[in-house]
Amino acid sequence: MENKISVSLIQEVMEEAYETFKNNNEGANANYIPFLANVPSDLFGIAICLQSGKILKVGDTSFVFGIESVSKVPTAILILKQYGAEKVVQMIGADATGLPFNSIFAILLENDHPSTPLVNAGAIAACSMVLPAGDNKQKWDAITENIEQLCGSAPVLLEELYKSESETNFNNRAISWLLKNYNRIYDDPMSSLDLYTRQCSLGITAEQLAIMSGTIANDGINPVTGKIIFDSAYASKITSMIASVGFYQHTGDWLYESGLPAKTGVGGGVMGVYPGIFGISAFAPPLDSAGNSVKAQLAIKFIMNKLKLNIFNNDRPVITE
Ligand code: GLN
């Protein structure tokens, strides 16, 4: 069956989602990173980037917020580009942990088999892999340039967030040394952690996140700039990683209810990839117990369900003007 959807209907449904959930006050801002606790809790935005490059948006889509764990996605793409799919799965893995994003237990359980670049341990290992080895300045440039290409515009470093997170990231320091213990970190542990902390402290907007998701959905070609950002072979690789672990211990429930591979961050951002159709993002700071934005989840599920979109259905939507 063909599901024909007009651009104006998508915009209408996004607005309906926004109105339905804007006054929802469940959840709480992340409080283990002091900076994030102070971001206004009522911010809320939703954006979609269509394959045509058209951007649909509603709410606070140009507010700059902490990208946090969503940054794990672009850096995973960067190491796929630098090392290829085979090496990434050997050196880190592509497995779901079923455990919280910052789990130490997951490292102990899988010490013979690293998990995925989309949880803290694998993301710190991914930062350690970024080339050129041993040169944090050039590694940082590679990380930020990659994000700039995926979004079509540059992210900004939120210095205060970086300071706040660097002063409080004791759990991540433990993770980095544990990785060293298992020979699963591939550059200096503390400088790799510093790169990770800095990438999490990048400021991004919901619109930029939608374009990044749109680039993945469009097989590596940025729909807005038209530039080829990565080899199309990596689009399905990164999307499979997002699908398997994007909501940490709630990933199965999320996929079941939304039908969309998506990745969250404790800054309140979520990016979702509908291969061949669109990239979607939503942003709202209050989080549930797994660190996933409450309103972003509600909004994306509402849009997917209302438009009868689900990557596991066999009716491909056709978006018409
Ligand atoms: N920088 C955060 C951390 O490492 C990111 C966590 C997240 O967004 N889930 O704890």
What's the pLDDT tens digit per position in 201-240?
999 999 999 999 999 999 999 999 999 999 999 999 999 9
Residue 112 predicted with pLDDT over 90: no
What's the pLDDT tens digit per position in 54-76?
999 999 999 999 999 999 999 99
What's the pLDDT tens digit per position in 123-140?
999 999 999 999 999 999
Residue 38 predicted with pLDDT over 70: yes
| Among 214, 201, 244, residue whose Cα is nearest residue 151 | 214
Considering the chain, what percentage of its residues have pLDDT values greater than 70?
A: 99
Residue that the structure tokens 């939503």 belong to: 282
Cβ of 172 less than 6 Å from ligand 1: yes
Q: Which CATH superfamily is domain 3-66+204-320 in?
A: DD-peptidase/beta-lactamase superfamily (3.40.710.10)
- Ligand 1 centroid distance, CA of 67 (Å): 9
Cβ of 208 less than 6 Å from ligand 1: no
- Ligand 1 centroid distance, CA of 25 (Å): 22
Alpha carbons 138 and 184: distance in angstroms, whole number: 22
Residue 114 predicted with pLDDT over 80: no
Interval 27-34 mean pLDDT: 92
CA distances from 299 to 47, 194, 271 (A): 11, 33, 12
Q: Do domains 3-66+204-320 and 69-200 have the same CATH topology?
A: yes
Residue 197 predicted with pLDDT over 90: yes
134: Cβ–Cβ under 8 A, 6 or more apart, which residues?
Answer: 187, 188
Ligand 1 atom index nearest CA of 32: 10
Cβ of 248 less than 6 Å from ligand 1: no
Please give the pLDDT value at position 80.
Answer: 98
* Residue 3: its H or E element: strand 3-6
Residue 1 predicted with pLDDT over 80: no
Residue that the structure tokens 């929802």 belong to: 24
- Ligand 1 centroid distance, CA of 175 (Å): 13
Name the band, by pLDDT with cuts 50, 70 and 90, for residue 28.
very high
Residue 321 predicted with pLDDT over 80: yes
Q: Which amino acid is at 229?
A: I
Which position has the higher pLDDT, 108 or 191? 191
Q: Pick the residue whose CA is nearest to atom 10 on ligand 1.
A: 102
- Ligand 1 centroid distance, CA of 306 (Å): 31
- In sequence order, the β-bridge partners of residue 166 are none
Domain spans of the chain?
A: 3-66+204-320, 69-200
CB contact burial 279-289 (16+ within 10 A = b; e otherwise) = bbbbbbbbbee
CB 76 within 8 A of CB 238: yes
CA pseudo-torsion sign 214, 219, 225, 230 = positive
CA pseudo-torsion sign 245, 250, 255, 258 = negative
Cβ of 265 less than 6 Å from ligand 1: yes
- Ligand 1 centroid distance, CA of 296 (Å): 17
What is the SS3 assignment for 152-190? CCCCEECHHHHHHHHHHCHHHHHHHHHHHHCCCCCCCHH
- Ligand 1 centroid distance, CA of 99 (Å): 14
What φ, ψ does residue 57 adopt, rounded to 5°?
-150, 160
Cβ of 293 less than 6 Å from ligand 1: no
Q: Give the right CATH number for 69-200 from 3.40.50.150, 1.20.1340.10, 3.20.20.70, 3.40.710.10.
A: 3.40.710.10
Cβ of 176 less than 6 Å from ligand 1: no
Alpha carbons 127 and 195: distance in angstroms, whole number: 6
